[in-house]
Amino acid sequence: MERFYYLAAVTFVLLVLLHHLLMGRGRRRRLPPGPRFALPILGHLPLLKKPLHASLADLAARYGPAVHLRLGSRHAVVIGSAGLAKECFSGDLDIAIANRPHFPSVREASFDYSVITLANYGAPWRTMRRVATVHLLSAHRVNIMSDNVISRELRAMVRRLARASAATPGGAARVELKRRLFELSHSVLMEIMAQTRNTYSDDADEDMSKEAREMKDIVEAIVPLVGVANIWDYMPLLRWFDVYGVKKQLRDAVNRRNTFIYKMIDAEKEKLKQLERKNGKDDSDEKKSMIGVMLSLQKTEPDVYTDTFISALVANLLGAGTETTSTTMEWTMALLLNHPNALKKAQEEIDLNVGGGRLLDKNDLPHLPYLHCIITETLRLYPAAPMLLPHEASTDCKIHGYDVPAGSMVLVNAHAIHRDPATWEDPEEFRPERFEHGGAEGKFMMPFGMGRRKCPGENLAMRTMGLVLGVLLQCFDWSRIGDGEVDMATATGTIMFKAVPLEALCKPRANMSTILKKI
Ligand code: HEM
């Protein structure tokens, strides 16, 4: 027993020495200020409370806009001001911090980090990013998708809501908005990827294609397992010995996902072959799904656009685009329910500019500036990714005059920047009017990030949100369930979810009754 205590003590001392030896390199550098005492192995991790953005904002209030922390064995710098965020994402510094930290917990689900969101800055990332921005998410394709896909899925949703209301005594249906908005965003992206849907059911409760439903089930199996696996990032022993059996479950779920995507790719290949046989030539890109577009690229550069490349891109865009978009729409509806005057003002704007004779479409959006202000104000208050995605420095660099060693994580507190009282008057208040008539010009927001790793899905997200929210406000009156305000508590995580899923009452508007019977 004595020997055991002796060995434990020696191991502890060695660990502390090793820790100081490794981390001590920082002493010669001028690191940004931060809490002095860091535990061996864990570093400052115990200081971080949930939600992370609030905890980091507290540290910024104490130490300044650039705070140094040690998270496990990594250096991390937290950026907490608009000025510094702009500095980070301009010029050479933008390139220096354009890598992503790689956490073992996400390796399994991310094709070995070879997806746009996680790949390091370099040639493979550039190729994926170019395909996504030029061929899949460009303004031109978003325009095509607005009519082909988004409006079709949206009409199906409106039809179901109108039917549900008609079947409810009093005409106001109780709607699980969180679920509906998620399913709509997921269906839109699935259709954009693979165009699998060929029928629309009149089922009032759910309207996803068979493929969209299967993909949703698979993603729902993977997400909690990645959550449990997070602990691997700091305790590798759990990973090596697969203590909870998570590794095997995760591998099974990821295999299921990959097999499913390969099946979609094969189906799309078959569809394209049939078209070619029928027409003697390939279809135009405009009519193709995203998988179809990538299969055309595969013909000319088979070594680059492999089936694995396509699968990784499909899985990545579905993952990056669904919950960000649906959560932002859920927050918007929650804010409007708590601010009925803003809701009414948006409806009046729609009535004036579109009327009740047809559903609003993409051409109406530029004439609905107040709706745009509402979405922007929601993105300010509830940015879906409150800390963006973590960046990593590929070389030693300087931020705000401080040394930042290569390998440091750089975290940007967009949530805190959006609520900085030095920039925003009454920052905690929902006030879309602040953006009216260029009122917020020059004020800095970054809900989609900035610089090289900025979100490539902004166009698609803004278009989807404009159309969905516009049509929901045009067709229905919305009210809260019960007398109290909607609970605006946030859940924690990379994405800022609403802690209590949003439900609301929805009643068809009188001026839309003819249209609602026809769609
Ligand atoms: C309201 C909706 C959305 C919000 C608020 C949002 C926000 C963000 C943010 C903050 C980042 C990280 C930027 C950084 O690390 O500096 C990001 C990255 C990304 N987003 Fe979005 N996003 C949204 C919708 C979408 C959609 C619809 C897609 C595509 C279908 C998409 C695809 C991506 C991808 C691929 C990346 C990784 C970019 C890279 O690492 O190079 N996002 N997004």
**241 CA → ligand 1 middle, Å:** 34
pLDDT in tens, 375-393: 999 999 999 999 999 999 9
The pLDDT value recorded for residue 1 is 46
Ligand 1 centroid vs 317 CA: distance in angstroms? 9
Cα 377 to Cα 383: distance, rounded to the nearest angstrom:
10
- Residue pair 115/128 in contact (Cβ under 8 Å)? The answer is yes
Cα–Cα dist 455/22, whole Å: 35
Q: Which of 455, 460, 463, 495 gets mutated to test ligand 1 (max ligand atoms within 8 A of its CB)?
A: 455
Quick one: pLDDT at residue 201? 62
The average pLDDT across 369-378 equals 98
Region 320-336: what's the mean pLDDT? 96
What are 101-159's pLDDT values in tens digits? 998 888 888 888 989 999 999 999 999 999 999 888 999 989 988 887 899 999 999 99
Q: DSSP code of 489?
A: P
Closest CA to 476 of 203, 174, 208: 174
Topology of domain 1-6+49-518, per CATH?
Cytochrome p450 (1.10.630)
The Cα 141–Cα 16 span in angstroms is 56
The CA 389 to ligand 1 mean position distance, Å, reads 9
pLDDT given at position 199? 62
Residue 373 in marked binding region = no
Confidence check: pLDDT of 519 > 90: no
pLDDT above 80 for 99: yes
Average pLDDT on 154-173 reads 92
pLDDT, tens digit (0-9, with 9 covering 90-100), for 5-33:
555 554 544 555 455 545 544 457 899 99
Average pLDDT over residues 450-466: 97
Q: What is the mean pLDDT of residues 285-310?
A: 89
The amino acid at residue 266 is D
Which atom of ligand 1 sits closest to the CA of residue 132?
A: 35
Look at 270 and 469; give whichever has higher pLDDT: 469
**Between residues 360 and 105, the one the model is more confident about:** 360
**Percent of the chain scoring above 70 in pLDDT:** 90
| Greater model confidence, 238 or 99 | 99
Supply the mean pLDDT for the chain: 88
Over residues 291-313, the mean pLDDT reads 92
Cβ–Cβ < 8 Å for 180, 320:
no
Higher pLDDT, 219 or 298: 298
Distance of CA 214 to the CA centre of its chain: 21
Tokens of 374: 């509402």
Q: pLDDT tens digits, residue range 52-92?
A: 899 999 999 999 999 999 988 889 999 999 999 999 999 99
* Whole-number pLDDT of residue 215: 84
Residue 211 pLDDT: 81
Instruction: Give residue 13's pLDDT.
Output: 47
The answer on pLDDT for 281 being more than 80 is no
- Three-state SS for 174? strand
Q: What's the number of CA atoms in the CB half-sphere (13 Å) around residue 474?
A: 29
453 Cα to the center of ligand 1, angstroms: 9
Mean pLDDT of 296-322: 92
Given a cut of 50, whether residue 46 has pLDDT beyond it is: yes
3-class SS string, 203-267: CCCCCCCHHHHHHHHHHHHHHHHHHHHHHHHCCHHHHHCCCCCHHHHHHHHHHHHHHHHHHHHHH
Complex ipTM over 0.85: yes
Spatial contact of 467 and 360, defined as CB atoms under 8 Å apart: yes
Q: Which of 189-198, 247-256, 263-272 has the lowest mean pLDDT?
A: 189-198
pLDDT for 212 beyond 60: yes
Q: Mean pLDDT, to the nearest integer, of 213-235? A: 77
Of 324, 459, 463, 464, the one to substitute when testing ligand 1's pocket (max ligand atoms within 8 A of C-beta) is 324
Query: Which amino acids bring their CB within 6 angstroms of ligand 1?
Result: 116-117, 129, 316-317, 320-321, 324-325, 328, 384-385, 388-389, 447-449, 453-457, 460-461
Other beta carbons less than 10 A from residue 312's beta carbon: 23
Percent of the chain surpassing pLDDT 90: 62
Q: What is the DSSP string of 458-480?
A: HHHHHHHHHHHHHHHHHHEEEE-
pTM recorded for the entire structure: 0.91
Whole-number pLDDT of residue 202: 58
Q: Does the pLDDT at position 214 exceed 80?
A: yes
Q: CA–CA separation, 71 vs 48, rounded Å?
A: 9
Peptide bond into 456 cis (omega under 30): no
pLDDT at 327: 96
Structure tokens at 304: 């680059």
Q: How many residues would you count in the chain?
A: 519
Side chain identity, residue 303: D
Question: Among the atoms of ligand 1, which is closest to the Cα of residue 115?
Answer: 35
Query: Which tens digit of pLDDT belongs to each residue from 397-428?
Result: 999 999 999 999 999 999 999 999 999 999 99
Strand order in the sheet with 503-508: 173-176, 503-508, 476-479
- The answer for residues whose C-beta is within 8 angstroms of residue 38's C-beta and 6 or more apart is 23, 44, 70
Give the model's confidence band at 4: pLDDT under 50 very low, under 70 low, under 90 confident, else very high: very low
- Higher-confidence residue: 242 or 352? 352
